[in-house]
């Protein structure tokens, strides 16, 4: 179990949800009453104002009930000033992070400090989802902030997802990442996990697996430049909005060309993952053999992911039904690949 002590529970919902991916998370407020002894929690995260005596007292009480110094303590700081840091140290904090640290970075820091390290397949998958997710967040944030995209940073997300689907299976990966609220984030993780599974099941070499997973991970990087009111609109997009949305393929391609270092396969997938074999796709209206095999593969993963995604306003489509949708697109998709994909997602 993980413990989260907070004096602003309304602002910690996303963090608590993410910590739940690592281990069951109990949230306590500084005003709340603690249960007696808490058996060997994996770690304690405190998001409180340490300079408030009542808050610091709550933390001492909770820590004593939760195994004392044996339980790693991570403090999210309201201030990184000397007084606050000294207070955190006196409480035994192993790590102090600024209070506005992104929740995924906090979760990753928690994973790195857990004692004992969680074991088992669930933990491997949860850890990998946070690691690959952190790469995706970093990528989208860099583009939104006008910073350069780093190939080396992207590549840090490849091995975790391949390990997760290989050891934990696709279904665990899907269940883990479908609990994330942010639609683009969830979608990118789904497509990456599907592409990793498909590449493994197709018998790709390690080098080819990495290439296809890299392409899947960055395939929608251009969405970081789409206004959020269009990107997250729940209903149908109007023609003008749709044109803006569709620009993400060419925009993403340009971002990676300008970043430099990305291989031709990745650039091809980013630009063309909305092309169709009958020439009805975008942005270039490619048809038939002009649509490369890697593009065909990621396009199938992309459409399937969009169908099985979890959204607040609709239930996810069951896998079998989503495969039927793919099978109903013989003019647009490579049917031999769709058949192989169907076997891959059904685990046969
Ligand atoms: Fe896309
Ligand atoms: Fe996509």
- Please say whether the beta carbons of 314 and 234 come within 8 A: no
d(CA 107, CA 124): 14
Q: Which residues lie near ion ligand 2 (Cβ < 5 Å)?
A: 220, 302
d(CA 265, CA 258): 16
Res 116: pLDDT? 61
Compute, in angstroms, the gap from residue 216 CA to the centroid of ligand 2: 8
- Same domain flag for 184 and 331: yes
**Which ligand is closest in space to the CA of residue 216?**
2
d(CA 27, CA 210): 38
Compute, in angstroms, the gap from residue 131 CA to the centroid of ligand 1: 22
Q: Which of 57, 84, 113 is the last residue of a domain?
A: 113
Question: How would residue 181 be classed by pLDDT, with cut points 50, 70 and 90?
Answer: confident
- The residue with greater pLDDT, 114 or 340, is 340
Q: Measuring CA to CA, which residue among 113, 163, 103 is closest to residue 134?
A: 103
Tokens of 51: 């300079």
**Which ligand is closest in space to the CA of residue 223?**
1
d(CA 208, CA 253): 20
Compute, in angstroms, the gap from residue 253 CA to the centroid of ligand 1: 11
Judge whether residue 174 has pLDDT over 80: yes
- Same domain flag for 100 and 164: no
- Same domain flag for 101 and 45: yes
- Same domain flag for 152 and 29: no
Q: Give every CB contact of residue 242 below 8 A, 6+ residues apart in sequence.
A: none
Q: Measuring CA to CA, which residue among 67, 4, 56, 65 is closest to residue 35?
A: 65
Q: Measuring CA to CA, which residue among 306, 233, 241, 225 is closest to residue 273?
A: 306
- Same domain flag for 29 and 155: no
pLDDT digits (tens, 9 = 90+) for 244-284: 999 999 999 999 999 999 999 999 999 999 999 999 999 99
Q: Which of 113, 135, 156 is the last residue of a domain?
A: 113
- φ/ψ of residue 262, rounded to 5: -80, 140
Compute, in angstroms, the gap from residue 127 CA to the centroid of ligand 1: 26
Compute, in angstroms, the gap from residue 345 CA to the centroid of ligand 1: 20
- Strands of the chain (E only): list them: 2-6, 25-29, 43-47, 73-77, 95-98
Res 36: pLDDT? 63
Judge whether residue 7 has pLDDT over 70: yes
Compute, in angstroms, the gap from residue 143 CA to the centroid of ligand 2: 16
- Three-state secondary structure call for residue 43: strand
- Same domain flag for 90 and 126: no
Judge whether residue 120 has pLDDT over 70: yes
- Same domain flag for 170 and 259: yes
Res 224: pLDDT? 95
Mean pLDDT of 3-11: 88
Q: Which of 113, 134, 163 is the last residue of a domain?
A: 113
Mean pLDDT of 293-302: 98
- Please say whether the beta carbons of 130 and 107 come within 8 A: yes
Question: How would residue 111 be classed by pLDDT, with cut points 50, 70 and 90?
Answer: confident
Question: How would residue 30 be classed by pLDDT, with cut points 50, 70 and 90?
Answer: confident
- Provide the CATH number for the domain around residue 26: 3.40.50.2300
- The residue with greater pLDDT, 45 or 122, is 45
- The residue with greater pLDDT, 77 or 38, is 77
Res 136: pLDDT? 92
Of 22-31, 132-141, 192-201, 259-268, least confident by mean pLDDT is 22-31
Q: Measuring CA to CA, which residue among 71, 67, 76, 8 is closest to residue 44?
A: 71
Res 178: pLDDT? 84
DSSP summary character for residue 235: S
Q: Taking CA 159 as the corner, what is the angle to CA 153 and CA 162, rounded to the nearest 5 degrees?
A: 135
Compute, in angstroms, the gap from residue 136 CA to the centroid of ligand 1: 14
Residue 108: CB atoms within 10 Å: 19
**Which ligand is closest in space to the CA of residue 187?**
2
Compute, in angstroms, the gap from residue 299 CA to the centroid of ligand 1: 9
pLDDT digits (tens, 9 = 90+) for 185-229: 899 999 999 999 999 999 999 999 999 999 999 999 999 999 999
Which range marks the domain in which residue 180 is found? 121-346
Q: What is the mean pLDDT of the chain?
A: 90
d(CA 327, CA 335): 7
**Which ligand is closest in space to the CA of residue 195?**
2
**Which ligand is closest in space to the CA of residue 304?**
2
Compute, in angstroms, the gap from residue 230 CA to the centroid of ligand 1: 14
**Which ligand is closest in space to the CA of residue 217?**
2
Compute, in angstroms, the gap from residue 255 CA to the centroid of ligand 2: 16
Q: Measuring CA to CA, which residue among 1, 92, 5, 93 is closest to residue 41?
A: 1
Judge whether residue 37 has pLDDT over 70: no
Judge whether residue 115 has pLDDT over 70: no
Mean pLDDT of 36-57: 86
Cα dist from 323 to 88, 308, 329, 335, whole Å? 53, 10, 10, 11
- Same domain flag for 192 and 126: yes
Judge whether residue 40 has pLDDT over 80: no
Q: Give every CB contact of residue 112 below 8 A, 6+ residues apart in sequence.
A: none
Q: Measuring CA to CA, which residue among 161, 282, 178 is closest to residue 214?
A: 161
List the beta bridge partners of residue 228: none
SS3 sequence of 103-159: HHHHHHHHHHHCCCCCCCHHHHHHHHHHHHHHHHHHHHHHHHCCCCCCHHHHHCCHH
Percent of the chain residues topping a pLDDT of 90:
59
Our measurement of the distance from residue 93's CA atom to the centroid of its chain's CA atoms, rounded to an integer in Å, reads: 27
Judge whether residue 23 has pLDDT over 70: yes
Compute, in angstroms, the gap from residue 213 CA to the centroid of ligand 2: 13
């Amino acid at each position: 179990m993980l413990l989260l002590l907070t004096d602003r529970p309304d602002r910690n919902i996303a963090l608590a949800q993410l910590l739940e991916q690592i281990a069951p998370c109990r949230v306590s407020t500084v005003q709340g009453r603690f249960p007696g002894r808490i058996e060997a929690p994996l770690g304690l995260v405190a998001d409180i104002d340490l300079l408030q005596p009542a808050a610091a007292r709550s933390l001492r009480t909770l820590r004593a009930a939760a195994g004392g110094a044996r339980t790693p303590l991570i403090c999210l700081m309201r201030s990184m000033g000397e007084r606050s840091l000294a207070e955190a140290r006196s409480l035994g904090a192993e790590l102090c992070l600024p209070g506005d640290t992104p929740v995924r970075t906090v979760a990753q820091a928690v994973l790195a400090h857990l004692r004992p390290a969680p074991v088992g397949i669930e933990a491997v998958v949860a850890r990998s989802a946070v690691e690959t997710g952190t790469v995706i967040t970093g990528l989208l944030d860099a583009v939104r902030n006008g910073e350069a995209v780093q190939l080396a940073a992207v590549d840090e997300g490849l091995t975790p997802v391949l390990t997760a689907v290989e050891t934990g299976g696709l279904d665990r990966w899907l269940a883990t990442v479908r609990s994330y609220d942010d639609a683009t984030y969830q979608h990118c993780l789904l497509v990456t996990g599907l592409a990793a599974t498909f590449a493994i099941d197709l018998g790709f070499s390690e080098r080819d697996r990495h290439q296809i997973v890299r392409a899947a991970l960055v395939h929608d990087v251009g969405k970081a430049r789409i206004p959020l009111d269009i990107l997250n609109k729940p209903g149908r997009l109007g023609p003008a909005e749709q044109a803006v949305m569709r620009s993400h393929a060419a925009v993403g391609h340009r971002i990676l060309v300008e970043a430099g270092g990305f291989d031709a396969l990745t650039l091809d997938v980013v630009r063309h993952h909305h092309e169709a074999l009958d020439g009805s796709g975008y942005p270039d209206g490619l048809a038939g053999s002009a649509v490369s095999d890697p593009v065909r593969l990621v396009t199938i993963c992309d459409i399937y992911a969009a169908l099985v995604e979890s959204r607040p306003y609709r239930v996810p489509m069951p896998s079998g039904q989503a495969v039927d949708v793919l099978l109903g697109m013989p003019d647009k998709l490579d049917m031999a690949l769709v058949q192989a994909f169907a076997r891959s997602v059904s685990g046969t």
